[in-house]
Structure formats: C-alpha cells, structure tokens
Structure 1
Amino acid sequence: MEKWQMYVTIRQLHEKGFSRRSIAEKLNCSRNTVDKYLNMEAEEFSTWLASTAARKKKLDDYEADVLTGLRKHPDMSSAQVCDWLEEKYPGFNTAESTVRRYVKSLREEYRIPKVTPKRAYEAVSESPMGFQMQVDFGQCEQRTVGGQTIKLYVAAFVLSHSRYKYMEWQDRPFTTNDLVHIHVRAFQHFGGKAREIVYDQDNIIVVSENNGDIIFTQQFEAYRRNEAFQVYACRGADPESKGKIENVIGFIKKSFAKHRPYTNLDRWNEEAIDWLDRRGNGKKHNTTKKRPVDVFRLERETLRPISVFASVAAEDKNVIHSNESITRVVRKDNVVLYESNRYSVPLGTYDGQGKSVKLVVQDDTLTIIESETGEVLGKHRLSLEKGKLIQDRSHKRDRSKGIPQYMESVAQKFEQYDLATAFLDEIKVKYPRYLRDQLQLINRQWDRHSAKVINLALEQCVNQKLFSGTDFEDMIQFLESIIVETTETALAQSYVEQLTPEAEMTYHVRPETRQLDTYVAILEGK
C-alpha cells in the first residue's frame, strides 16, 4: 500500500510541474525510483506491485533486525548493518552490495533518511611496500549494558601500502609509556616495522616543534632510537599527510564503535581484533579494490625486523616491564587471546562467568596464571605469527580412546566398579553431548584428592542422586571439610584424655565472672 501511495504522489507532483529531482528530494527517495514509477502506467504498476508482494527477498528473514537497528540508529551505514549481521549470525554469507541495496530499499519504504557528512581529500600517491606506517589516536563515548556512559581511547596503526590495520583501546588517556607498549604489540602484530612512521604532533610524542627540528619526549626518543625508525610529525588536520590513518580512525568509530554496547575492556579489545579480521582487514578496500589481508601477505616480507628492546628498559625502567601481568578473560573454547593468537588452558577452565587469568610475558614465553589461586594453568612459547592456535597437548581432550573405553578406564579407578559404572551411565544419559568433559572433570579428582575421599564421594552422590561431575567435585570438597573438622575435634579430645586427674580438673575450671561495679570500685580506690 505504501508503494502505491508513493506512486500516486509522484504522478501528482509530476503533473503539477515538479522536476524529477525535486520530487525525489521532496519525497526523500532516489531519482531512480522516481524515473521507474513515472515510466509505468497505473495498470502496469499494479501488476508489478502484485508480483513483488509474492516474491521473497533474500534478506527478508533479517528484516526485523535491520529495521530495529535503523530506527534506533538512523545514521547507521549499510556496511555496519552487514557487519552486525555477520557477527550476530555466524552462518550469514551475503554480499555487502546485496545488503546495501536491501538497506536502501528499507529506508525508502519506511521513510528512514540518512544524512552523511562530506569531507574532501586530495589524492596522494601510494607509498611503496614496507616504507610507511601511520599512527593516530581517537576517543569516543560508549553506552554500557547498564545504560551508563564511558569514555574510551583508541590508538590505531595502518600500513600505508596494504591498509592493514591494528588498534588497541584503553579506558584512560594514553601516556608515553602506554604508547611505547602499544608500539611493541603493534610491531609484533605486523611481524615487523616500517621505515617511516607518521604521527600527529601529540604531546605524548613531541615536546616542541623547535622550528621544524622536532624534539621528542625522552621515553619515546629512547624507543625510537632503539628501533631505528624515522618519524614524520605532521601538522594537525592535515589529511594529505596522514589521511589514511584519519580514515581508519573514522572507520573504527563509525563501523566498529558506534552503537556497540560496552561490557569490559578485555571483551572490547577482543571484539576489536575480531572486527579487524572480519571487516577492517578482511573486506575489500574502496581505494585499492583489494583486501588488506591479501596485500599484507606480500608487504609483510618487506617490513624491517623488530629490534630487541631490552636496552630501552635499561635506559628507562618505566618503559618496558617484562614481568608485568596482563589480565585476560578465558574464552568459551578454553583459550586466551594474546597478540591476535589463541593460547590454550586446560579443558574446563572456562566457567561461563568471565573467569579471569593473568598473562606474564618473559622473553619468548607466555605464562597463564589463574587470578584467584595463582595456579599456573599453562606455559607456551610465543608465536610471531597471527591468527594461530597454540595448544598444549596436555590441554587437549583425550581422543586416543573412544567414549566407552574412556568410561571404562575411569570406572576402574574406583573400589566399587559396579557402582562407578552405574554412576557414569547416569551421567551419560543426563549429559550426552558433554560426556567427555564430565569424565575429564571426574578423572582430574584422582590427582587432587585421596582415594578414600573419592570413593566415599561416589557412594554419597549415588545415594543422593547427584549425577554430574560438578556435584561429584563439590561432594569431595564437602567431605574433606568434614574430615578436617572431625580430626581437629578428635585431637582435642585425645589431649584431654592424656591429662592427669588434677590437670583435667583444671582444664574444666572456668574463671569467675564478676560484675562491672567491682572493677569500677577498684579503679576509684575503694
């Protein structure tokens, strides 16, 4: 019905002498729509309209999601809509041009206009591979899931030739120390460094322009000398000098950060890396018409190697701390994200409640430590590649045996084999998809607790119909607490029994309790 009303209105305005351009502006629709409707007679339009009503578009299943996003955020771009659909629906695989046309049709159909600010840039010649990298900073305000507002700060890096990007976020303004640390991680991410790096004349980098002879901050200058790269400090608002990174900052703000709910900083940085892999580096660039990740495979070979930065730490101890710990959250697949790689932790570490661990980097080793207990969960050799899964063999599932054999091996560890088999059979019925995880949880108890307590816990779980690995573990801990309490009581009683009759009489003597007035009288000298 809305399309028919649009058709009638366009015909009426055209009969009144309005130009096709003015009709499009007045009705907030495209010039092509006006041309299409004016070139169709009423009967022809009715036939076409009836045919479109029965035809289902490829993205109609996502119409509710798209409309909700457009109505809530009218300035959202079609590229951002496409990215959100890819993130929400892992199996979503539709060309961005299809999404763009669909968003455009929904905007026209439901009258949701979009105003895009324009900015002019002058074309700049391309830099050779490995020659230049551009760095800039940005900040934005985000809404938390609780509705509060938080200010976040981002440092972004881009290789000028391939447009391959890296970014890192903080919830506080950057310092020179932060900048040096981020450079180290960015260079590790790229697998090398460019010969020249372009910056704004930011006060965490530059102390004074000195008539063109730039004076850098002490920490940054020490790091720059050690890594031996050239610095080009351009003037502010100079798109010809650093237009690529300005575009990246704008792209990050509009496509990644805009309207994205904030939970915590670790999760935000993980989402940022995922977004770079999926869109920032994974989609075709508008200028080069190539995917940055594809060009980067060639440009990476031209980057200069990263220097050992121990000398920087010696000059200024505040720059690099090899024993600093970094907090991360364990992902649901029992891995920890660090420098775009995934490092494994023992199966079952993920608890579904945002379990945090600390990462300690020393030389070429990454140590993962449980935050609460200090237990070392794993040690891995750092990988210089990106997007890799580094997994300890002991962290992997025991796939050398099938499920029946695994159940048999676990049951044989108990004194009451038949009772253990019945217990595991119940778990198999209750948790068919997670049976191996349940068996591994039960199997780990033999390395942590005594056989006596484990066998007693089995009896109690069966008697109370508690058929799960978690309940079994909780029962063991409960029984151990009772054993400790009982042992302490028995020791105390044994001590009393060993006393002589006179000593035992003294042991049971209790001091006399006097009234407060007695002590007051003594203090007053009475």
Structure 2
Amino acid sequence: MARRLRERTTDLVVSDRSIRRYVQALKQQIASGQLRYYEPVVESVPGVQCQVEPGELRGVMIDGLERVVHFVVFVLSCSRLIYVGLHLKPLDTERFIQMHDEAFCYFAGVTEECIYDQTKMVVINEQYRELRLNQRVHKYATTVGYRIHACEGYDPEIEGKVEAGVKYVKRDCFYGEHFQDEEAVRQHLHDWLETVANARLHSTTRKHPREHFRTMERAQLKPDLVPQSLLNVAPARETRKVDKTSLISWQTKKYSVPMAWQQARVGVSAQDDQLLIHDLCKTKGRMIKNTNHYRDHTQRISDLERAIDAILPDDLGEPCSSCSSVLRRVSRGPAGAHAPVDSALLSGLCECSELTATGLKRYL
C-alpha cells in the first residue's frame, strides 16, 4: 500500500510505519466484515455426545529431559466427565483407536456420537461438507456403535467444550511438573483425573462431573460389550502417493517401489520388520532403494541375452562369465541401450576381477 501511495503522490513524505498506524486506526473505525452472531448453547442430552480433541505439550521434564507429551481429551458433553489418553510418541491411527477404547472403558459405556474437529486421523479431506474419513477409524466406530460427527474446518468455536479441556490439561495437569519416567507420568495423570478434573465444581454446570455422571448420564450410555477379537482386527492397508522417482514416504523415510507405479497411489502395509519387501529403517530421513524396482520386468531373459550378443563384437568369442553377468545387469537397467563395443575395450574389461555394473556403464 505504501508503494502504491508513493507512485500516485510523488511528494508524499511519510514512513512506512506511519502508514501502517494510520491504516490500523481506519480498520478500527470501519467494519471489515460481518460480525459473527452467537446463540446460547442448549445443554446436551445425557449419553448422546462425546467430544474428542488431540493435543500436545512440549517441554515436559521426564527423566531430566524435555519431552513432548501427546494426548487426546475425551469429554462427555452432558456431565463434563473427562478422560485423557496419553502417548509419548506422535499419534498414529492405531494408538488413536486404542485411546477411544480406553475412554469407553473409563466411562463404562459408549455415547451415540463422537464429535471431532478436522484432525487428519479422522477426516482425510472435506469438500462442501462431504467427508472422506479414515477407513480404520470409521470401521472402529461402526464396530463399537457410534456416529462420527466432524466440525466444519478451521472453525474451533463450534466444538467449544473440548478446546477448553485441552487448555485445562496443559495448564493444570502438566504445568511445572517433573517426572522420573513414563510410568510416573501416567500415574500422575490418573491421580489428576480422579482427584482434580472429575472432582471439581464445574463452572458451567455448577456440579461435580463425577457425581453428575453417576446420577444423570451413566445409565444412558450404551454398554461397551464389543468383543476384543473384533477390535484387534488386522490393520487396513494405508495408501501413499508414488512420486516421479518411484519413491513413497513412510514414517519420515523414503522407500522405492516398482517404476510401473510412478505417479500412482499404492497400498502400504508394515508387517513385523518389513514394509512389504523392504526391511524397515530406524533412521529418519534415509532413502531405501531397491534397484530391482527400476527395471523393466516385461523383458524376457532371452531378449536380454540377444541384446547382449548384439553389443558384443563378433571376433571376441564367448565372454567371461563375470563380464556377461555385469552386461546382463546393465542391459536390464533403464540405460541399457548401447552401441556395439570395441573388442579391445571389452577384452580389457573381461580381465578385470572386480568389474561392477556402474563401472561398466562408465566405460560404455
């Protein structure tokens, strides 16, 4: 804005800061948009709604080190009974579902619906209020028997109660605390829920959450009678987008896939210590590449051998086995097209005891 003013008025002698202050004063006088209208929130019906919100707190001292504590807050909308699931590693879908199971066990029942914000562990994307849900979470909700209700994106005021719950956990439960180990953190959280969070006099309901839950809401919850065998189903396969170099991202590492799947979406599944056909890597930022993924598997071995014969000069005779093997690997790669090779050069290469495909391609 200051630049355009100077272009129109050449004799304007004023600093950029003065212009910013003047514009700021104008914004306070002139409404820039329609104000949002609010209405009183009708108290929730017992046993209907549980609000869920993940959060994290950095700088928690555990065993003398600053750690990041990841947690999920569950609040029953009627009684305000609260449960907090805890994890010291970034949350994934499996742990997120386990926390739901822990919360329903703590509440001794299941609500009719759970309300979420636009967390990616539940809502993959939203377009005109059409939601694409995380299939594992949706399957769990269907199995347990509750509906998933997602708030509109980028509007935290819709949810309300749980946003205050996340701040309450950060400022009251963990603030200024030091812990010896992870077990001490969990014990402290359990004691805090029993003696503080659910025993206080709630400022809105003017009731104690635990007593309110026992008298009004507990009988309205659906029983949590889902067999554990239904909850421990095999995890669904996750998907990843393959980039133009045949790599996918998995837990901050890069893994190669067959080049036929470039720019496509593929299913990914980790079993034991392997990611499909890769050994799982423990180091962040590494790239794990299998050269076999960058070969054209539609070619037959006989076709490759004929291509090698076309490269070899006629007067050389039968090449040594090591050179033939290396040539076969070069021919199967993306840069396998070469002109006929000079016989003197190939004779010298056959005498090399440690010939590699990379070295051969450099000579060719």
Provide the TM-score with structure 1 as the length reference: 0.36
Q: 2:221 maps to what in 1?
A: 303
Q: Work out whether residues 130 and 303 of structure 1, in 8 Å CA contact, stay in contact via their aligned partners in 2.
A: yes
More helix per residue: 1 or 2? 1
- Identify which of 249, 263, 285 aligns with 2:180: 263
Q: Work out whether residues 85 and 99 of structure 2, in 8 Å CA contact, stay in contact via their aligned partners in 1.
A: yes
Kindly report which structure 2 residues correspond to 1:20-169, keeping only aligned pairs within 5 A, or say none.
123-144=40-61, 147-169=64-86
Partner Cα separation in structure 1 for residue 110 and residue 156 of structure 2: 23
Q: 1:313 maps to what in 2?
A: 232
Q: Work out whether residues 74 and 83 of structure 2, in 8 Å CA contact, stay in contact via their aligned partners in 1.
A: yes
Q: 1:112 maps to what in 2?
A: none
Q: Work out whether residues 60 and 174 of structure 2, in 8 Å CA contact, stay in contact via their aligned partners in 1.
A: no
Q: 2:305 maps to what in 1?
A: none
Q: Work out whether residues 153 and 173 of structure 1, in 8 Å CA contact, stay in contact via their aligned partners in 2.
A: yes
Partner Cα separation in structure 1 for residue 71 and residue 235 of structure 2: 25
Q: 2:25 maps to what in 1?
A: none
Q: 1:214 maps to what in 2?
A: 131
Q: 1:464 maps to what in 2?
A: none
Number of aligned residue pairs: 199
Report the aligned-residue RMSD: 2.2
Say which SS state the counterpart of residue 241 (structure 1) adopts. coil
Partner Cα separation in structure 2 for residue 121 and residue 141 of structure 1: 33
Q: Work out whether residues 226 and 307 of structure 1, in 8 Å CA contact, stay in contact via their aligned partners in 2.
A: no
Q: 2:291 maps to what in 1?
A: none
Partner Cα separation in structure 1 for residue 154 and residue 77 of structure 2: 18
Partner Cα separation in structure 1 for residue 142 and residue 212 of structure 2: 29
Letter in 2 for 1:259: G
Partner Cα separation in structure 1 for residue 106 and residue 207 of structure 2: 20
More strand per residue: 1 or 2? 2
Q: 2:207 maps to what in 1?
A: 290
Kindly report which structure 2 residues correspond to 1:332-351, keeping only aligned pairs within 5 A, or say none.
none
- Identify which of 182, 191, 212 aligns with 1:274: 191
Provide the TM-score with structure 2 as the length reference: 0.51
Partner Cα separation in structure 2 for residue 169 and residue 161 of structure 1: 23
- Identify which of 157, 166, 169 aligns with 1:249: 166
Q: 2:144 maps to what in 1?
A: 227
Cα offsets for 1:420-445 (capped at 9, x unmatched) = xxxxxxxxxxxxxxxxxxxxxxxxxx
Q: Work out whether residues 55 and 166 of structure 2, in 8 Å CA contact, stay in contact via their aligned partners in 1.
A: yes
Kindly report which structure 2 residues correspond to 1:430-445, keeping only aligned pairs within 5 A, or say none.
none
Q: 1:177 maps to what in 2?
A: 94
Partner Cα separation in structure 1 for residue 193 and residue 40 of structure 2: 25
Kindly report which structure 2 residues correspond to 1:429-508, keeping only aligned pairs within 5 A, or say none.
none
Q: Cα 1:315–1:288, aligned 2, differ >3 Å: closer, same or farther?
A: same
Letter in 2 for 1:215: R
Shift of 1:263: 2.3
Where does structure 1 lack aligned partners over 5 or more consecutive residues?
1-119, 319-526
Cα offsets for 1:219-272 (capped at 9, x unmatched) = 111101111211111135534421111111111101111111132222111111
Partner Cα separation in structure 1 for residue 179 and residue 144 of structure 2: 35
Say which SS state the counterpart of residue 219 (structure 2) adopts. helix
Q: 1:202 maps to what in 2?
A: 119
Q: Cα 1:311–1:147, aligned 2, differ >3 Å: closer, same or farther?
A: closer
Q: Work out whether residues 138 and 154 of structure 1, in 8 Å CA contact, stay in contact via their aligned partners in 2.
A: yes
Deviates more, 1:205-214 or 1:193-202: 205-214
- Taking only the aligned residue pairs, the percentage that are identical comes to 30
Cα offsets for 1:322-374 (capped at 9, x unmatched) = xxxxxxxxxxxxxxxxxxxxxxxxxxxxxxxxxxxxxxxxxxxxxxxxxxxxx
Partner Cα separation in structure 2 for residue 183 and residue 128 of structure 1: 21
* Larger relative contact order (CA 8 Å, sep ≥ 6): 2
Say which SS state the counterpart of residue 150 (structure 1) adopts. strand
Letter in 2 for 1:176: T
Q: Work out whether residues 63 and 179 of structure 2, in 8 Å CA contact, stay in contact via their aligned partners in 1.
A: no
Say which SS state the counterpart of residue 209 (structure 1) adopts. strand
Say which SS state the counterpart of residue 159 (structure 2) adopts. helix
**Structure whose alpha-carbon radius of gyration is higher:** 1
Q: Work out whether residues 62 and 182 of structure 2, in 8 Å CA contact, stay in contact via their aligned partners in 1.
A: no
Partner Cα separation in structure 2 for residue 132 and residue 189 of structure 1: 15
Q: Cα 1:175–1:146, aligned 2, differ >3 Å: closer, same or farther?
A: closer
Q: Cα 1:261–1:123, aligned 2, differ >3 Å: closer, same or farther?
A: farther
